[in-house]
Amino acid sequence: MKIVNREWHLAHGRRLTLGPEARLMAIVNVTPDSFSDGGVHMGRESALHHAFTCLEEGADIVDIGGESTRPGAAPVSAAQEQDRVLPVIEALARQTDALISVDTYRAETARLALAAGAHIVNDVHGLQREPEIANVAAQAGAGLCIMHTGRGRTVLADPIEDQRQFFKLSLDIAARAGVTPETIVLDPGFGFAKETVEANIGLIARCSELLALGFPLLVGTSRKRFLGTLTGRDAQGRDVATAATSVLLRQQGASIFRVHDIKANRDALAVADAMLALAQDDGTGVDHKPRGDEIDG
């Protein structure tokens, strides 16, 4: 697998090198009902403490979310979402130089979060629920995570072809809004209307095919239900299985890993990166240069 190095352009003049080493995005859910940690980090101080811990453990990015995306979760208003995430983002931006992502599909929440200090917009609806979010990201020069979902629509029989068609629509929205390609990463959306073990494992096995779209991949298998089906463990007991999928997806060319447990995935991915480095050293064609530190513009 050829790992290509590139600079991911983010808001506020920041950049992050993708490729040489796996990057970790920490999940901080400021929600009462997320599937594995609902209520655990509810409130500004609890969420900040968890964010600081994740950064100490090696997270490159902190992803702040204020609305659960689990199936059947109660919807929240834009005002509720903003009341949850904005104080955390403001404090994190003030107290650290961490890269901050806001997990939202709402254009107004994204705009306020970027103004509060966020660098990245992570949209689980792939710009297709509120397309104006693409304009918000473009105006701020924000990093943009475009996720695939099969919820609420008919999906194609071939999962990769469905991903291609979905992302074509999303990327068209981004292009019309003036989003620059250097700000975009794609997320295949594990668990989002991929209901079976076979659907998710099959997507892991074919994930490298998505690299042909020309963008880095962000993946989020952390504690997902298919891992519980495979292992028989509840959500909090799925971190070892998550780390296994992270290694497999790193071998498939993924660059960013959105996870709950930073330590376990950091260690597992360090082994995967060592294998990639060895492949480069023995001439097998992996473009794996020494780690480049984060670059500020």
Q: Please give the Cα distance from 240 to 223 (Å, whole number).
A: 9
C-beta atoms surrounding 150 within 10 Å: 18
Active-site pick, 23, 84, 258, 266: 258
216 near 233, Cβ under 8 Å? no
Active-site pick, 23, 111, 224, 250: 224
Beta-bridged to residue 122, according to DSSP, are 103, 145
Q: Please give the Cα distance from 251 to 245 (Å, whole number).
A: 10
Q: Please give the Cα distance from 222 to 96 (Å, whole number).
A: 25
Residue 6 annotated to the active site: no
> In angstroms, what CA-CA distances link 293 with 14, 18, 19, 193, 250?
12, 10, 11, 36, 19
Residue 258 annotated to the active site: yes
DSSP-derived secondary structure letter, 235: G
Could you give the angle at the alpha carbon of 62 between the alpha carbons of 137 and 276, nearest 5°?
A: 100
3-class DSSP assignment, residue 111: helix
| Amino acid in the structure at residue 126 | G
217 near 256, Cβ under 8 Å? yes
Active site residues: 224, 258
